[in-house]
Amino acid sequence: MGQKMDKGGFWTPGPPDIMSIAWNCRGLANPRAVNFFKELVQQVRPSLIFLSEILGKKKKIEKVCRTIHFADCFVVESHGQGGGFALLWKNPGAVEIKGSCNHYIDFEVVCDQIGRWRYTGFYGCPERYRRYESWELLRGLADESNLPWCVVGDFNEMMFAHEKRGGKPHPRGLLDCFTKTVSDCGLMDMGFVGNEFIWERSRGQYKWIHERLDRGLAN
């Protein structure tokens, strides 16, 4: 079962002795964000970390990687004002990168206890009119391997109406498309412990909106 983080993210246990973090860090240029990240690593003690919206360059992530004493990292640099991903792993030789783009990093994990398994750190298109692109990517990834598979990240979409509070009801068609995609890929939600509604807008006002956009899926 996944455990939610207060500042927007998700961590989940994998096979024995493996813990992973997926966090939409919204940039690591701010020293406060870096300090929060270090504290999080000390608390959770993960073996794998997927960061989205790093808003920075590879050298910055490499420096952070050394600071937390991880073996290596793989970075998809941001372009312009947003985006960018990073994967950091603690044990040398534990990760094999299989593919990446501006919406995911797909890799295999070498685990002594159960053998190989697959992990995809995912970031869905934030624009509604491009949601179908996210689901096409996810379906394409599902066809590439028969390994045990975990997909974790910020999907920028919800599966059910109760995953939103405040504002107008979310379009039923968008909910159904995401739910069908998850089913078509043979995935299921791993659940969570903690605050369901990580994304919010207009906090403390009558237009206060909460949504669950982060989740962990597995086959």
Q: Residue 38: give the domain boundaries.
A: 2-211
Residue 38 to residue 72: CA distance in whole angstroms: 16
Residue 53: inside a domain: yes
Residue 119 to residue 97: CA distance in whole angstroms: 10
Residue 216: inside a domain: no
* pLDDT number for residue 15: 56
* pLDDT number for residue 170: 80
Count of structural domains within the chain: 1
Contact assessment for residue 64 and residue 85, using Cβ atoms and an 8 Å cutoff? no
* pLDDT number for residue 194: 57
DSSP letter at 204 equals T
Residue 217: inside a domain: no
DSSP letter at 163 equals G
Residue 97 to residue 144: CA distance in whole angstroms: 13
* pLDDT number for residue 3: 45
Tell me the whole-structure pTM to 2 decimals: 0.85
Question: Mean pLDDT, consecutive 10-residue segments, the chain of 219 residues?
Answer: 48 63 82 88 91 87 93 87 86 93 93 85 91 96 94 89 77 94 95 61 56 86
Contacts by residues 86-92 (CB-CB < 8 Å, ≥ 24 positions apart):
86/49, 86/50, 86/51, 86/54, 86/61, 87/48, 87/49, 87/50, 87/51, 87/121, 88/48, 88/49, 88/51, 88/61, 88/64, 89/47, 89/48, 89/49, 90/46, 90/47, 90/48, 91/47
Contact assessment for residue 64 and residue 37, using Cβ atoms and an 8 Å cutoff? yes
User: The domain that contains 90 carries what CATH number?
Assistant: 3.60.10.10
* pLDDT number for residue 2: 47
Residue 119: inside a domain: yes
From 71, 80, 61, select the one nearest 23 (Cα to Cα).
61
* pLDDT number for residue 13: 54
Residue 219: inside a domain: no
Residue 126: inside a domain: yes
- The interaxial angle of helices 58-67 and 31-44, nearest 10 deg, is 40
* pLDDT number for residue 51: 92
* pLDDT number for residue 129: 92
